[in-house]
Chain A
Amino acid sequence: MKRWLLRRLAQAGITLAIAMVLLFVLMRLAPGDPLSRLGENRPLSPAETEALRVRYGLDQPLLAQFGVFLRGAARGDLGTSIEYGRPVSALVRERLPATILLGGAVLLLNFTIGIWLGVRQAVRRDSVLDRWLTTVSLAGYAMPSFWLGLVLAWLVGVKWRLLPAAGMQDPLLGPDADWGARGADVLRHLVLPALTLSIVSIAATMRYQRTAMLEALALPYVTTARAKGVRESLVRWRHAWRNALFPVLTLFGLWLPVLVTGSVFVESVFAWPGLGSLAAGAVGYRDYPLLMGTSLLISALVVAASLLTDLAYAFLDPRVRLS
């Protein structure tokens, strides 16, 4: 187990390294000049442009730039944002909690509602509920998240005025509002963006869990458990679902990139101050340090999530744990 663990960690490290190289190469190969945008509002003299070029290190050869980039990343320095003029790492740190809150809410909903519905579907295969849920989930999965967000924002936020449709906090909430009021306010703002992302992701989780559960229910050891006279609820959850969990765990590892991608759109639509909207805004400004920094961080998160999933898998399956 220990050897496997070390090997897996090394693998994760290599993957991350390759991701970094790819990102860097991508940035430098793309046509267009990061600095050309800056000259739009106020024309820059050649001297100023050159000074900026030196400041952002764009005059160095490619390999040297990569070296600078690597050293900086190791230190936690991801460069300076062109749009904000502040360190990228600071910006990322500021916006990360909001994304984690949103992502956490969505994952929670996925792992409770999504799993429960998927199991329900498998157990009542081909029933009215099963068919209906399948249709609904297929439709949900096909919807563009930004469009769904806008529709919900319009209906619930504007037309019916039930929930706030933008931002994370009410700007009018006084500075002396207590934690409870603040927390409740954030939660109210969280509902719509979380709902939007969840509708799309739960659709997929449900389908995946349904398939995994159907396969698990057909396994011979489930029949053995029934033949023993074990209660049906125990058969379902203790035997079948326990083993239907594995594919869903794998799904979790794959899910992070999807969640992150969705959050770019959803955060933009709802002006949720997280990493997604940060990245979306950076695009317009051609703020490549910011984009690089966020991409790097997210890649690291994806690699970490995949690693955690494998660890969980190994921990839960005695066949791996004891080898």
Chain B
Amino acid sequence: MTRVLDVENLRVSFPDAGGRRFYPVDGVSFRLDRGKTLAIVGESGCGKSLTSLALLRLIPPPGRIDEGSRIRLEDTDLLALKSEDLRQVRGRRIGMIFQDPMTSLNPVFTVGNQIAEGILAHLPVSKTQARDRALQLLQEVGMPDAPARLDAYPHQLSGGMRQRVMIAIALAAEPDILVADEPTTALDVTVQAQILEVLDQLRARRGMAVLLITHDLGIVAGRADRVAVMYAGQFVEEASTSDLFALPSHPYTQGLFASVPRISGPVQRLAPIPGTVPPAAAWPSGCRFRPRCPKAFEKSHTEPPMLPVGPGHTMRCWLAEE
């Protein structure tokens, strides 16, 4: 297994109204391997989008990546890079797909233009060559009638097509890593499956490492190799997909699975997790899930580290010790 990305103790801070800093991403560690998909699953407000933005150092000011964080791309320390070197990483070694393709594409330029821009930013090719390459990419991501779409404007395309464009843009400079931040959230259910399929094929064909951010457990099954469940700025459980689905161990994960409505089986009341997600500026003390956890006990008042549950399966819960 070749490791391409190593993230250690990533913390992202923002100032609150009084100027004190709080941590929407608070100590996240993971690795990405070639040809494998890692999914980060969590509700909105858990910090997963910020985690993905941090990899390319796109955290919007006044937010910043904290001192103790480490992000290594093979043997390059991403956090120490100067702006020009960082620019070389963006797009060229790590490509990113954003959530809403309507607002993430510039309305005044054609999609071909925007894909070619990604190519020209890194590869020493002519404009014509870039355009040809853009066409190839559109075809690779499964865009119907690609030659005609090349000169279309974003508003002239459907949601699914726009997302394919975003994928093409992300792939333009042939990156080794693809970060997909909620790539299907803004799309219809039928189109979602198509887009996920495209991502999967690209990963296999190009041997890229994929980081898939989502709030939807459903799209993780069968698509990701490993899953990390995120809550309140931290990973609370991490395992291979099959292990997580077979044995969800953290109470939050169990709550997530329980709250998914099932079509098959007897009709039951929906079982939501009681309470609400805490705001990032006020994480609860001790175990952050404690206020909502049905299995909380005295030890929950101390913040638990990630503890092993089984081979390659960890969770942030004192119950692992039982």
Contacts and interface: CB of A to CB of B under 8 A. Distances in A.
Interface of A: 218-221, 223-232, 239, 242-243, 316-319, 322
Interface in B244-263: none
B153 A322 contact: yes
B100 A229 contact: no
Contacts of B138: none
Interface in B19-68: 53, 56, 58, 60
Given A229-B90, A229-B91, A232-B83, A243 B153 contact: no
Given A220-B100, A230-B121, A322 B58 contact: no
A317 B108 contact: yes
A228 B117 CA distance: 8
Nearest to A229: B91
Interface of B: 53, 56, 58, 60, 83, 87-92, 95-96, 98, 100, 103-108, 117-118, 121-122, 153, 155-156, 166, 169-170, 172-173
Contact of A319 (B153, B166, B172): B153
9 contacts: A221-B104, A223-B58, A223-B60, A228-B173, A229-B90, A229-B91, A229-B121, A239-B106, A319-B153
A239 B114 CA distance: 10
Given A220-B103, A228-B118, A232-B83, A318 B88 contact: no
B121 A220 contact: no
A223 B121 CA distance: 15
A322 B154 CA distance: 12
Contact of B118 (A223, A229, A239, A318): A229
B104 A229 contact: no
Contact of B172 (A225, A226, A228, A243): A228
A276 B157 CA distance: 51
Nearest to B102: A220
B303 to A, nearest CB: 33
Contact of A221 (B60, B91, B105): B105
Contacts of B170: 227
A322 B92 CA distance: 34
Given A224-B98, A227-B56, A228-B91, A318 B153 contact: yes
Contacts of B155: 318-319
B121 A231 contact: yes
A46 B56 CA distance: 88
